[in-house]
Amino acid sequence: DGHTLLFDASSHLVNPHVIRNLPFDYATAFAPISQVVTFPQVLAVKNDLPAPRLAAFIALAKARPGQLSVGTQGNATAGHMGLVQFCQEAGIEVTHAPYRGGADAARDLAAGALDAVFITLLSARPIVDSGRARFLAVANAQRSALRPQIPSFAESGLPGVAISEWASLFAPAGTPAEIQQTLYAALREALALPELRERLANLGAEPVGSSPEVFARFVTDGRAEMGRVVREANIRLD
Give the model's pLDDT for residue 236.
87
Q: What distance lies between CA 113 and its chain's CA centroid?
A: 23
One domain, residues 13 and 112: no
Give the residues across from 42 on adjacent strands.
119, 138
Q: What is the reported pLDDT for 74?
A: 98
Q: Is residue 181 part of a domain?
A: yes
Q: Are residues 122 and 102 in the same domain?
A: yes
pLDDT of residue 49: 98
Domain count, the chain: 2
Contact of 44 with 116, CB cutoff 8 Å: yes
Identify the band that residue 60 occupies on the pLDDT scale cut at 50, 70 and 90: very high
pLDDT in tens, 132-150: 999 999 999 899 999 999 9
How much is the mean pLDDT over the chain?
Answer: 97
**Pair (220, 190) in one structural domain:** yes
Q: 25-55, pLDDT tens digit by residue? A: 999 999 999 999 999 999 999 999 999 999 9
CA distance 61 to 55: 10
Do 131 and 187 belong together in one domain? no
Among 123, 156, 189, which residue terminates a domain?
156
52 and 151 fall within a common domain = yes
Confidence of residue 212 (pLDDT cuts 50, 70, 90): very high
Q: What's the pLDDT band for 130 if we cut at 50, 70, 90?
A: very high
Let me know whether 56 and 13 are in one domain.
Answer: no
- 72 and 21, same structural domain? no
pLDDT of residue 53: 97
Q: Whole domain around residue 169: which residue ranges?
A: 6-38+163-233
SS (H, E, C) the chain: CCCCCEEEECHHHHHHHHCCCCCCCCCCCEEEEEEEEEEEEEEEEECCCCCCCHHHHHHHHHHCCCCCEEEECCCCCHHHHHHHHHHHHHCCCCEEEECCCHHHHHHHHHCCCCCEEEEEHHHHHHHHHCCCEEEEEECCCCCCCCCCCCCECHHHCCCCCCCEEEEEEEEECCCCHHHHHHHHHHHHHHHCCHHHHHHHHHCCCEECCCCHHHHHHHHHHHHHHHHHHHHHHCCCCC
CATH number at residue 186: 3.40.190.150
Q: Provide the percentage of residues in the chain whose pLDDT is more than 70.
A: 100
pLDDT tens for each residue of 154-210: 999 999 999 999 999 999 999 999 999 999 999 999 999 999 999 999 999 999 999
List Cα–Cα distances, 158 to 79, 82, 110, 140, 178, in angstroms. Answer: 16, 12, 26, 11, 39
57 part of a folded domain: yes
Q: Residues 51, 132: one domain?
A: yes
Do 52 and 14 fall into the same domain?
no
Is 238 inside any structural domain?
Answer: no
Residues 22 and 74 in one domain: no
Beta bridge partners of 166: 38
Percent of the chain with pLDDT over 90: 97
Provide the pLDDT for residue 75: 97
Within-domain flag for 1:
no
10 and 86 part of one domain: no
Contact 169, 6 (CB under 8 A): yes
CA–CA–CA angle 96, 89, 102 (5° rounding): 35
The answer on 124 and 66 residing in a single domain is: yes
| pTM to 2 decimal places | 0.95
pLDDT score recorded for residue 1:
78
